[in-house]
Structures are given as structure tokens and as C-alpha cells.
Amino acid sequence: MFSYRHAFHAGNHADVLKHTVLIAALERLLEKDAPLTVIDTHAGAGLYRLDGDYAGTSGEAAQGVLRLLSPDADAAPSAPARKPPVPDEPAPALARYLELVRSFNRAGQARVYPGSPFIAQHLLREQDKLKLYELHPTDARTLDANVAQLEAGRQVAVLREDGFGSATKFLPPPSRRALVLTDPSYELKTDYARTAAFVAEALKRFATGVYAVWYPIIPRPEAHELPRRLKTLANKAGKPWLHATLTVKSSKIASTPDGQGKRPGLPASGMFLINPPFTLADQLRPALAQMAAWLAQDRHAGFTLEHGG
């Protein structure tokens, strides 16, 4: 049914962006005592090996989180040493992300990478709830097994259902505080339109929820259209929004001697939030600048950060 497996991509530059933003947003929301419900509509397997076959084959983590962890971290021997174009220490939002990834590993090692379900669960308190949707049979089984080890009881629910189809049934939660992460693989072209339709429906049911959407920035009209549609939805609902993007390299197809050309892999991605916590933009700006500098693969690297509403 699906061929996408997040294990190939775990810890890549897109995860660095997505998970840094997720942590910063969750930490602001958790400053209030009232219970928070987190819904992850596309959860993945929850935990990934950085020293396993998947990550080793793709090498994506080596160009992502492994560049940012201490150079002596023992994970993938092929991880390129970080060039230090920025002399400072990580900005607080990036430092929190790295600290959280380190907390899943022994000192000096970087073998395990926490996906969004484990990042959220790590931060949540007893009174909070986590709903995880995963449709891929293998990843759903792995997610179930990983979650079982947490012994988190009724705090965490794994649903082997379509995250687009039924996640809105939890909105609004009784405490009227929720963050919904929508992070599809966009393996199907229809995922772009389904994401926009899902957010529209969710906003209708619960206008004050925090909605976070990750999307790839690739040469495809639907990918460019999605943030525009989300911005329109937020503006029509009169809600604030935040849009952060990270580019690590050019999206141009490189020429090869056989004339076939070489696709560059994912060059950039974005996170679009509706109802972001108040101080998020200020926290993210220095972290994004460092990500762009430290994860750059060519001179096209950079970031954008816009907010409005």
C-alpha cells in the first residue's frame, strides 16, 4: 500500500526543522497547568536507529542531526564533521532539541532518534494526552511495541486508522487545549489537498487549537500551493499563523555525464502553524539561522520566517 518508511529519513534536515519547532511550541503550551491533548495524525514508528540499515543506506541523518550533535558522537562513522561557520553555542530552541535527542542516548552516542510521538510523550505531563495515528502495518506494529514499553497507560493511544479521516473526532478536547501535528509522507499527490481539507475541518470544529503542518518544498505545484492555502485558511478564520522554512541545497537537477541528470533529494521543507504560541517566532529565528548555516550543503542554503494574523 505505502512505500514510504520514515526510518530512511529519521534525523534528516527536515526532522531537525520539524522537531525543533514542535518542541518549542509544546514547551510554551506546557507552561500552563491545564491538560493538553497532542494529536499526531501521521506518527511513524516512534523510535528509529541511527546506526541501523535504514539510516545507513540513506545517509540522511549524517547530513542532519548528526552534524549538530557533538562531533565525537558515535553513531554513523560516515557522518561528516560539522563545519563550524557559526561560532556560537546553539540557540536555546536548537539546544533544547539536541538535548532531547541526547536524552534518548548514552553519553557520547547518537544511535537512537526519537520521532514526533516520543518527543511529545517525553515532554507531556501526567494530565496530558497523546493520540497517535499510523496506517502503515509495519510501522503501526513497531509504534505499538515502542509505546507499550513506555507503560504510559491511557495517556497514549495508538490508532491504526487514517489520521486525515478521524482525528478531528478528538476536537475540541475537554480541556479545550490541543496541538495537532500533521506530517504526512506526501507520497500520494492527494496528501496536499487532504492536509488542507483536514486543517479546514479541524479549525471549524476547534478554532483555537494549535495546528502544525510539515510539508516538503519540492518542484511540484501542490507543494507550493499548500502553505498558501493554509495561510488563506488562517486569515479567513482570523487566526495568527507562523511559517518557517529551511533550505539546505539547490532544488536543481544536477547534470551527469550520461545526460540523465541527478535529482538532489529533498532540498528544503517548511512548517506552517496556525495559532502558534505567542513568543515562538522570536525563539525560532536564531535557531533557524544556525540550522541553515550548519546544515548547508551548498550556497543555496537559507531560511525564512514569516508570521501574521
**Residues binding ligand SAM (CB under 6 A):** 2, 4, 6, 18, 40, 42-44, 115-116, 133-136, 139, 162-164, 183-185
- Shortest Å, Cβ 34 to ligand SAM: 25
Cell numbers describing residue 28: 510554551
* Closer residue to ligand SAM (CB): 43 or 287: 43
Q: Rounded CA gap, 163 and 48, in Å?
A: 21
Report the DSSP pairing between strands 156-159 and 129-133: parallel
CA pair distance 48, 57, nearest whole angstrom:
14
Helix, strand, coil distribution of the chain in percent, nearest 5: 40, 20, 40
Q: Burial code of 208-217, b = ≥16 C-beta within 10 A, e = fewer?
A: ebbbbbbbbb
Answer yes or no: are the C-beta atoms of 43 and 131 closer than 8 Å: no
DSSP state of 262: B
Strand 129-133 relative to strand 37-40: parallel, antiparallel, unpaired?
parallel
Query: Alpha-carbon distance 210 to 212, whole Å?
Result: 7
Nearest CB to ligand SAM, comparing residues 97 and 164: 164
Q: How far is the CB of 189 from ligand SAM (least distance, A)?
A: 13
Least distance in Å: CB of 40 to ligand SAM? 6
DSSP line for 11-30: TSHHHHHHHHHHHHHHHHHT
First to last CA, the chain: 39
Residue 51: how many other CB atoms lie within 10 Å: 15
CB of 121 to ligand SAM, least distance (A): 12
Residue with smaller CB distance to ligand SAM, 8 or 207: 8
Toward ligand SAM, which CB reaches closer, 45 or 237? Answer: 45
CB of 210 to ligand SAM, least distance (A): 16
Residue number, nearest CB to ligand SAM? 115
- Minimum CB distance to ligand SAM, residue 73 (Å): 20
Would you call 183 a catalytic residue per the annotation?
yes
7 within 8 A of 143, measured Cβ to Cβ: no
CB atoms within 10 A of CB 63: 21
* Closer CB to ligand SAM, 2 or 255, in the complex: 2
Minimal distance, residue 120 CB to ligand SAM, in Å: 10
Closer by beta carbon to ligand SAM, 21 or else 237: 21
Q: Which of 15, 40, 139, 183 is catalytic?
A: 183
Cβ-based nearer residue to ligand SAM, 88 or 162: 162
The rounded distance, in Å, linking the Cα atoms of 308 and 164 is: 26
Q: Tell whether omega for the bond before 264 is within 30 degrees of 0, i.e. cis.
A: no
The residues assigned a catalytic role are 183
